[in-house]
A and B are shown apart, each in its own frame.
Chain A
Amino acid sequence: MRHLPLYIRLFLHLILREDHRRSVISDLSELYQVRWERDGEAAARAWLRRQTRLYPFTLIGAHLRRREPSHDSRLTTHSPPTEHLRTLSRDLRHSLRSLMRTPMLTATIVLTVGLGIGATTAIFSVIDAVLIRPLPYSNPGDLVRIYTDQPPNRWPFSVADYLALEEQQTSFRGIAAYWNATMTFTRDDVAERVQGSSVTWNYLSLLGINPIVGRQFNEADGVPGAERVALVSHGFWTRHLARDDAAIGRPIRLNGNDFTVVGVLPRDLGPLEYQREFFIAEPLQTPPRKGPFFMRVVGRLHENAEVASAAEELRAINRRIFPIWQSSWQDETTTWGMVDLKAFVVGDVSSTLAIVLGAVGFVLLIACANAANLLIARATHRSRELAVRAALGASRGRVLQHLLSESVLLAIGGASVGLLLTVGGIQLLATAGADFIPRSAEISINSSVLWFLTTVTLGSAVLFGLVPSLHGSRTRFEAALKSGGRGATDGTGPRYLRRALVISQFAIAAPLLIGAGLLVASLAKLQRVDPGFDTSNLLTAAISLPAAAYPDTSAVRAFWDQFQVRVEALPGVAGVGFANARPPTQLNEINNFNLEDHPTPPGEIQPTAPWVNGSPEYFDVLGISLIRGRMFDDRDWTSGDPVVLVDETWASHFFPNESAVGKRLGDGGSPDWTTIIGVVSKVKYLGLDNPNADGTVYRPIPPSGSRFRYFFVRTAVDPFSVLPAVRQIVRELDSSLPVSGVATAEELMADSLQQPRYLAVLVGAFAMVALLLSLIGIYGVMAYFVQQHTRDIGIRIALGGGPSDVMRLVVRQGMHLVVVGTALGVIAALGLTRYMSALLFEVGATDAVTFAIVALGMLGTAVIACFGPARRAAGLDPARTLREE
């Protein structure tokens, strides 16, 4: 005989009345057996699931359809389970009607709680996507990122390193590498810069990414001399290849070379492949020297591999190969390290997200306190109605259930508003934060986000519903009935409760406002940082000359010379310069170096500094001034002696007591000496918030050098007005060249502050909402206070108290609460803000000015909020008030 599963029996047991339970369960199991024998197991199970699901709906439907049952059933002390369902649905309908009668109150609670729920859920969805969900690779727990470890820096690998590790390691099932390969894609007459990755042939299969069309890379693709092959992203396939299967096996042109497309990757890739349009299998050959370092290595550990022993093996292999490359790499302390891939991808964003989640959590708490406050006032007003219910025989539990059902309805309303806000919010968060929130492409509403929403909703319902309901169900009913519904409202219980809620609102809002204040102060400091160059009227963009079309130095020189001459001749243009970096953040090279006068002892770490290649005009165009020595000039490319400029920070850091001009350094482990010919003013290349205490070194770009250059055009007019002419010149010189990354220097500055601005705006907006809700709270309590004390105030005025006395009395009452709340909040903030000190720039976590401004601002706005009720009190007509009493 087939038995029903236990959980179904239990479920039916709970929802069915006792007198039917046994026969219904027995019949259902008999029908189940009939199905099983007639239709087979799977069909029977599916049928059973359908049937069981129908039960609650059928039961609820059945008695909703019936007319209101007789009164006595409501008053029975013992009610069977179905009876609970019935009273619940009746409570819900009743609550809905009574909430509809006070639309303003209902709307206020639904909107404010909805705002709190929505904001909290939206931030959670980001945290879920970034921190909680595993990486979208197969068995992501085994994946690690392997790097060259030179504390505090982590560098990529070189080809020499990679080949040695691949050959000697035993801890990993495999290692693979990827590196940036942004190239010019040309088709017909259209040219476009496209972001892609060069990868080792096993990279995609190691991560578990398989093409949806075509084939995976194989070992033959990684052999030097093999046909050049590419896998393209789903987006590239759609945009450029018309989603045509026939494109497989045909070539695409990248940087002037043909690559055969062998397959198309799935639409959703992982964070390492973010915005990568194509992947090229790059053959590796043993290099002549250790550097350069550009390969980003991922490894997949053996299933039972010990992380510690794998890390030890990395260090051991590194030590083993050190002697082989000693001629080009002397730094023995540098080793290899590894870190969990997810930790690497997520980086240090978790502290930022925690702060934002804290902020929205606070907003939700304040919204709940506000809702509780309003509901207490409402319960107090309804004490007569509740008393009548109690007198008719409703138990305290029934009254409580009724009041709670109101908060549940309000919370469900709030959840609907919250869900809408979440949908909009995550769009906004993902778009605005795409550049600095890792894995932002994975932010979505999934089941765990919905669970979170549900939990938060129920939690808030309890939070803002329980206290008012308990209070409402405890009202002294006789008193309420006797006094005609007025006397009972004067109880001390609710008054203290509401005051405590207002105090807690201000206590929660204060740290939030202070946190926002600190972020804004820090942003203001950042915006005042001098980037070291003149940002007005400066247009920049990048051009990259493909090696296939510009095979030798004379072709490169011809292009850049013509470009410079023709752009300089444009009306409104004052000068054109070139560099391989763009301040304040876009830097391509950091080099280690050795000083001839102060050589680094063997075995110690050499100093490093940002390295920028610049044309002689670059310094003029940006407004970088020469402090000592001379600029780059024609001598520097004819003599062949390597020269560099250094900035004043570098000069005073490495040669504090003498002139750096004429000193020599060896860069990147090179044995050749480079002479310092001048010192220039400093420019920020590592971000406005980075002090870069080591300074910057400039290498000249000779006229025939560098296929890739940023160009900088100094204009006397609006920089964008010359852009069409510049584009036209490029088109005339070479119609297949794209101009990419067009921006004014002012835009680059603004972009570099995107993340602090995003955080300041987000937390600031939440803080403003918190303040507004707190002000609504104090206003409500004071308005109620005046209403309750009409008589006392009337007497006071009758006895000669002037309007200003009365106003002072009311405001003092309100400010009492505000001051206590704000003081508690400031104390809490002193403890909390230190968790955000890493996000602050030149502003202390306990910055006295910010604390004072925020506290005074809160008190000031609260005085204004108390003013409304105070003026009403002062305007009372004593004669009328006393007569009415």
Chain B
Amino acid sequence: MPKETFGEFEHRVMLTILQLGGEAYSVPIVLELEERTGREVAQAAVFIVLQRLEKKGLLTSRMDDHAVGETGRVRRYFKPTAAAMERLKESRRAYNRLWEGLDAVLEMSSE
């Protein structure tokens, strides 16, 4: 059975969560993505992707109730599941295989 792969933006969001320490809510994800891509990111798009990944069982989420009292903020933290980590590794391996022996090609084209 062929495994479903991540969409481009899903992939980025997953990696960003990992960059942010393995668990994050949407605000730092948006800011980090903007930092790394240099472009404005739509919060709506991030929200949709997080929701979709959770439905697919690749993220779990929890509400952070402690924060409510202090700041009035209601935060939903997302965390990759084991299945997601497995799929990320798989996708990394797949890319690595595809990249094998292509360093020389890249160097030539950059000259």
Contact = CB atoms under 8 A, between A and B. Distances in A.
A27 B25 CA distance: 8
A544 to B, nearest CB: 67
B51 interface: yes
- Please classify how large the interface on chain B is, using the bins under 10, 10 to 19, 20 to 34, 35 or more: 20 to 34
A324 interface: no
B6 to A, nearest CB: 15
A31 B27 contact: yes
B52 A23 contact: no
A475 to B, nearest CB: 38
Given A1-B72, A22-B74, A23-B25, A59 B43 contact: no
In this complex, the interface size class of chain A, counting residues with CB under 8 Å from chain B, is 10 to 19
B43 A20 contact: no
Contact of B42 (A1, A26, A58): A58
B43 A27 contact: yes
Contacts of A51: 42-44
Contacts of A1: 71-72
A23 B74 CA distance: 5
A31 B25 CA distance: 11
Nearest to B47: A24
A483 B100 CA distance: 69
B75 interface: yes
Contacts of A59: 44, 48
A26 B75 contact: yes
A54 interface: yes
A54 B73 contact: no
B43 A26 contact: no
A30 B42 contact: no
B40 A24 contact: no
A646 to B, nearest CB: 84
A676 B27 CA distance: 98
Given A27-B26, A31-B27, A54 B75 contact: no
A139 B74 CA distance: 52
B63 A58 contact: no
A563 interface: no
B84 interface: no
Q: Output the residue of B30, B42, B47 with the most chain A CB within 10 A.
A: B47
A27 B40 contact: no
Contact of A23 (B42, B44, B76): B76
A47 interface: yes
Interface string A11-46: 000000000101110111011001000000000000
Nearest to A61: B48
Contact of B73 (A26, A50, A55, A58): A26
A62 interface: yes
B64 to A, nearest CB: 9
A26 B48 contact: no
A24 B26 CA distance: 8
Given A26-B75, A31-B43, A62 B52 contact: yes
Q: Is the interface of A mostly helix, strand, loop or mixed?
A: helix
A27 B44 contact: no
B45 interface: yes
A7 to B, nearest CB: 17
Contact of B75 (A20, A23, A58, A62): A23
A51 B43 CA distance: 7
A31 B44 CA distance: 12
B18 interface: no
Interface in B26-62: 26-27, 30-31, 40, 42-45, 47-48, 51-52
A286 B30 CA distance: 79
A62 B48 contact: yes
B27 A54 contact: no
A47 B52 CA distance: 25
Contacts of A50: 40
Contacts of B25: 23, 27
B30 to A, nearest CB: 6
Nearest to A27: B26
Nearest to B25: A27
Given A1-B72, A23-B75, A55 B44 contact: yes
A58 B51 CA distance: 13
B31 A54 contact: no
A20 B63 CA distance: 10
B4 to A, nearest CB: 13
Given A34-B27, A59-B48, A28 B75 contact: no
Contact of B45 (A23, A26, A30, A58): A58
A26 B31 CA distance: 15
Contact of A31 (B30, B48, B63, B71): B30
B40 A47 contact: yes
Nearest to B50: A20
Contacts of B45: 54, 58
Contacts of B73: 26, 30
A69 to B, nearest CB: 11
A53 to B, nearest CB: 9
Interface string A390-406: 00000000000000000
Contact of A34 (B31, B42, B74): B31
A28 B48 CA distance: 14
Contact of B43 (A22, A28, A62): A28
Nearest to A22: B74
A54 B44 contact: yes
A596 B52 CA distance: 102
A27 B48 contact: no
Nearest to A55: B44
Given A34-B27, A34-B31, A20 B74 contact: no
Scoring B30, B43, B52, B73 by chain A CB atoms within 10 A of each residue's CB, the highest score goes to: B43
Contact of A20 (B30, B47, B72): B47
Contacts of B31: 31, 34
A23 B72 CA distance: 11
Nearest to A3: B72
Contacts of B76: 20, 23, 27
Contact of B27 (A20, A22, A30, A62): A30
Contacts of A22: 74
Nearest to B46: A27
A1 B71 CA distance: 9
A331 to B, nearest CB: 76
A34 B32 CA distance: 13
A496 to B, nearest CB: 50
A387 to B, nearest CB: 34
Nearest to B67: A26
Interface string A40-78: 000000010011001100110010000000000000000
Interface in B47-99: 47-48, 51-52, 63, 71-76
A26 B74 contact: yes
Contacts of A62: 48, 52
Interface string A264-285: 0000000000000000000000
Interface of A: 1, 20, 22-24, 26-28, 30-31, 34, 47, 50-51, 54-55, 58-59, 62
Given A1-B71, A23-B26, 8 more contacts: A23-B76, A26-B72, A27-B25, A27-B43, A28-B43, A58-B42, A58-B45, A62-B48
27 contacts: A1-B71, A1-B72, A20-B47, A23-B25, A23-B26, A23-B63, A23-B74, A23-B76, A24-B26, A24-B43, A24-B47, A26-B74, A26-B75, A27-B25, A27-B26, A27-B27, A27-B47, A27-B76, A30-B27, A30-B73, A31-B43, A34-B27, A47-B40, A51-B43, A54-B44, A54-B45, A55-B44
Q: What 4 pairs across the A-B complex have the smallest Cβ distances?
A: A23-B76, A58-B44, A26-B74, A27-B26
